[in-house]
Structure 1
């Protein structure tokens, strides 16, 4: 049943004598929402991206002095990494390297714990900037992007009222040689397949809507797959020079989710 058909189904049930009269009423969660039509979590727009802090505006409109490459200074940075199902934010805070777990919920960046940092000592001005930056990571109240599919600018608003603007770096492809980007369709279910020495669950993919589905044995780094959703992705194909035993030499890195469609089961 599609979204557009759902209200008509409810109306027909009501006319027949109430929702209780419909033998195929949808399952409801504890909050009363229809679980079959719960929106799937969107893929992490920040996965495998890196950013430089370009501007720090204070509540009164003044600008805080921050290091910038144009002055031969090392900028504050934030990188968002997916590694074997775990998400990690890492970067340079002005004096030390830091990392922390994070998640993205409804487009909002949430740093889930106080960042852990190395213990180098620097000039007092750099240490003060680093202290405020690291404290601000767990106080982000709003996150926005200039583009929902391929952002190049990211803005945080902190609970203090400070606004931090970031520019996106050229994304490094870790662990391999990157090829050209491509568009692929990914089917709504992963299926058993023979991979290497044993059985695995493979994606079903194709280049165009008219082609038959084919197995994809490799990984799609940064992709948060949800069963029941058919996707069209833009990916970068990466060749791993030293892949693990029985693992494919080629994998994909998610660049953007172009389309997603709920598929009736």
Structure 2
């Protein structure tokens, strides 16, 4: 049989095999996790962290004066958050609040657009510092943290040769006695439940994909829930020293959105 005829005969067969493979149900991992779950940002170790600028070193080694809490001055800050899966950075630049989108690729912090800031005027020195700080964000050539599991120091190197060192801030929303970090699944809808003396809307949560859903009667601080999306979160368990009446003293604070999946209705 001529080669061209053989290829024409094989093409429909290969196509049918490919379609059959595409139509087969996805395989599940050994722990029961659905592989359709995609990490929101598997390499983003900065998610849900906040920082103060502690030191600005010029290329010649001289230190540029920056505001610092020890001098009763408001420091320059940056916080990294995930809003419905979209990474955003925001903070105080010296005069104004700012925000920008970012990504982390191979450990490098990349600010994806020029930061948008409010328009308040202040002293010329503070304005100059703010302008240089915001401009420097888009010129980061190297970035690093001291500990990938629990970073306490972050460093940026700018294309100008300047080096910015940041110290980790204590998350003000945690409060109370901090407990362990854990991974939990959160279902795609909240459901009515009995809470104390009345009715409430509860999250459905579980520790693994093989377990049944259970009610979580409290809130998840810092989590922006969107119906129709199933999540896997890394949360910190904390003891609330002053819980509301008829409420649990245990609450969760979001550390990071690990995975999310759109659930078809």
Q: TM-score range by the shorter chain?
A: 0.5 to 0.7
How far apart are residue 235 of structure 1 and its match? 0.8
How far apart are residue 111 of structure 1 and its match? 5.7
1:145 equivalent in structure 2: 145
Give unmatched runs, 5+ long, in structure 1.
1-16, 28-35
Matched, 1:133 2:129: no
Alignment of 1:245-256 (within 5 A): 251-255=251-255
Structure with the larger RCO, 1 or 2 (CA within 8 Å, 6+ apart): 2
Judged with a 3 Å threshold, the aligned counterparts in structure 2 of structure 1 residues 187 and 50 are, in CA distance, closer, same or farther, namely: closer
Matched, 1:90 2:86: no
Judged with a 3 Å threshold, the aligned counterparts in structure 2 of structure 1 residues 112 and 251 are, in CA distance, closer, same or farther, namely: farther
1:172 equivalent in structure 2: 172
C-alpha separation between the residues in 2 aligned to 1:168 and 1:148? 13
How far apart are residue 223 of structure 1 and its match? 5.5
Number of residue pairs the alignment of both structures matches: 226
How far apart are residue 167 of structure 1 and its match? 0.9
Which residue of 190, 193, 196 maps to 2:191? 193
C-alpha separation between the residues in 2 aligned to 1:89 and 1:54? 17
TM-score with structure 2 length normalisation? 0.60
1:80 equivalent in structure 2: 79
C-alpha separation between the residues in 2 aligned to 1:178 and 1:70? 23
- Map Cα deviations across residues 47-97 of structure 1 (whole Å, 9 max, x no partner): 553312122233x44233223548726363224265975845012x34x13
The answer as to whether partners of 2:57 and 2:162 remain within 8 angstroms in 1 is yes
Which residue of 21, 37, 41 maps to 2:17? 21
CA RMSD after TM alignment: 4.7
How far apart are residue 117 of structure 1 and its match? 3.7
Determine which structure has more spread, i.e. the larger CA radius of gyration: 2
The answer as to whether partners of 2:181 and 2:235 remain within 8 angstroms in 1 is yes
Judged with a 3 Å threshold, the aligned counterparts in structure 2 of structure 1 residues 18 and 171 are, in CA distance, closer, same or farther, namely: same
The answer as to whether partners of 1:150 and 1:255 remain within 8 angstroms in 2 is no
Give unmatched runs, 5+ long, in structure 2.
1-12, 24-34
2:31 equivalent in structure 1: none
The range that moved more, 73-82 or 154-163, is 73-82
SS at match of 1:148: coil
Alignment of 1:32-47 (within 5 A): 39-42=38-41, 45-47=45-47
The range that moved more, 42-51 or 222-231, is 222-231
How far apart are residue 160 of structure 1 and its match? 3.2
Alignment of 1:110-125 (within 5 A): 110=111, 112-122=113-123, 124-125=124-125
